[in-house]
């Protein structure tokens, strides 16, 4: 009899503290959280609730003050800084509210950027970047720079950049925050499709309830703690 595979992400007793003494702030307090591969999770909460701190820790952009973060069973806290950087580069894709595209650089070159860091040859970078742009419906705009693209199209390029390395997880921080309602729905439908068809685990921070309903699981943070964790839209949650 073989042991069950470990969950993709397991947080246990995660605490993050800033400052000391009277200035001490507990951004996260004793957070336990498990996320399985293939989930689509939305994280909500008021300003200062800890949701962004949690995302930074999940993406290896920050480290907890205490507690355990395991990724596929490996203790992330035991990794050296360079090892955490490799984990971030190989296993995570990031999508931000502000798109974060290079201004005078084509969509294709923007999408190729993570592959340069991985040391891929130009021909391979080009092939993978074009395939990623095709997946987000922008193959025909490969040579347009951001100023020639709408906000929704720029976010699609950012999503293509996030998935071009074939990550296990896409971390999306307010991905529709700068978009109108119609474009927001298009982006959410795209993320849903990538989750369903490509099997990419998506963890999204949002303040918009209607966008959170595209996820299958909704986690609410309040005062640095998980207040609730369940189905996003009345259906069965995938929480484990």
- Looking at the structure of the chain, the number of domains it has is 1
Spatial neighbors of 218 by CB under 8 A, at least 6 apart, are 41, 42, 43, 44, 212, 228, 229, 230, 231, 232, 237
Indicate whether 5 belongs to any domain.
no
Q: What is the pLDDT of residue 239?
A: 40
Indicate whether 69 belongs to any domain.
no
Instruction: For residue 143, give the CATH number of its domain.
Output: 3.40.50.300
Q: Give yes or no for residue 32 having a pLDDT over 60.
A: yes
Q: What is the pLDDT of residue 228?
A: 92
| Structural domain containing residue 134 | 40-52+81-231
Indicate whether 17 belongs to any domain.
no
**113 close to 94: Cβ distance less than 8 angstroms:** no
Q: What is the pLDDT of residue 22?
A: 78
Q: Give yes or no for residue 237 having a pLDDT over 80.
A: no
Report the pLDDT averaged over residues 47-59: 93
Q: What is the pLDDT of residue 236?
A: 44
Indicate whether 14 belongs to any domain.
no
Indicate whether 26 belongs to any domain.
no
SS (H, E, C) the chain: CCCCCCCCEEEEEEEEEECCHHHCEEEEEEEEEEECCCCEEEEECCCCCCHHHHHHHHCCCCCCCEEEEEECCEEHHHCCHHHHHHHHHHHEEEEECCCCCCCCCCHHHHHHHHHHHCCCCHHHHHHHHHHHHHHCCCHHHCCCCHHHCCHHHHHHHHHHHHHCCCCCEEEEECCCCCCCHHHHHHHHHHHHHHHHHHCCEEEEECCCHHHHCCCCEEEEEECCEEEEEEECCCCCCCCC
pLDDT digit string (tens) for 79-106? 999 999 999 999 999 999 888 899 999 9
pLDDT digit string (tens) for 158-184? 999 999 999 999 999 999 988 999 999
Q: What is the pLDDT of residue 88?
A: 92
Under the banding of pLDDT at 50, 70 and 90, the label for residue 64 is: very high
What residue has token string 């806290």? Answer: 77
Report the pLDDT averaged over residues 218-222: 96
Q: Give yes or no for residue 238 having a pLDDT over 50.
A: no
What residue has token string 């502000």? Answer: 98
Which of 56-60, 194-198, 213-217, 234-238 comes out lowest in average pLDDT?
234-238
Q: How far apart are CA 55 and CA 172, in angstroms?
A: 9
Q: Are strands 201-205 and 9-18 parallel, antiparallel or unpaired?
A: unpaired
What residue has token string 């200062």? Answer: 48
Q: Is 169 exposed, middle or buried (0-12, 13-18, 19+ CB in 10 A)?
A: buried
Q: Percent of the chain at pLDDT above 90?
A: 84
Indicate whether 15 belongs to any domain.
no
Q: What is the pLDDT of residue 3?
A: 62
pLDDT digit string (tens) for 103-152? 999 999 999 999 998 889 999 999 999 999 999 999 999 999 999 999 99
Q: Give yes or no for residue 2 having a pLDDT over 70.
A: no
Average pLDDT over the chain reads 91
Indicate whether 218 belongs to any domain.
yes
Can you name the residues that pair with 16 across neighbouring β-strands?
Answer: 28
Indicate whether 20 belongs to any domain.
no
Q: What is the pLDDT of residue 145?
A: 95
């Amino acid at each position: 009899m073989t042991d069950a595979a470990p969950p993709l992400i397991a947080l246990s007793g995660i605490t993050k503290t800033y400052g000391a003494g009277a200035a001490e702030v507990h951004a996260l307090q004793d957070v336990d959280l498990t996320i399985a591969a293939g989930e689509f999770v939305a994280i909500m909460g008021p300003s200062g609730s800890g949701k962004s701190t949690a995302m930074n820790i999940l993406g290896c952009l920050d480290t907890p003050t205490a507690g355990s973060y395991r990724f596929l069973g490996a203790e992330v806290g035991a990794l050296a800084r360079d090892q955490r950087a490799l984990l971030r580069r190989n296993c995570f894709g990031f999508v931000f509210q502000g798109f974060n595209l290079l201004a005078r650089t084509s969509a294709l070159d923007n999408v190729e950027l993570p592959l340069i860091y991985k040391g891929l040859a130009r021909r391979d970078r080009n092939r993978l970047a074009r395939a990623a742009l095709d997946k987000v419906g922008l193959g025909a705009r490969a040579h347009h720079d951001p100023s020639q693209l709408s906000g929704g199209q720029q976010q699609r390029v950012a999503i293509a950049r996030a998935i071009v390395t074939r990550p296990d997880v896409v971390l999306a921080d307010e991905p529709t925050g700068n978009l109108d309602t119609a474009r927001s729905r298009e982006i959410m439908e795209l993320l849903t499709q990538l989750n369903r068809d490509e099997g990419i685990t998506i963890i999204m921070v949002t303040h918009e309830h209607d966008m959170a309903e595209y996820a299958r699981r909704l986690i609410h943070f309040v005062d640095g703690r998980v207040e609730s964790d369940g189905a996003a839209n009345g259906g069965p949650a995938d929480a484990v």
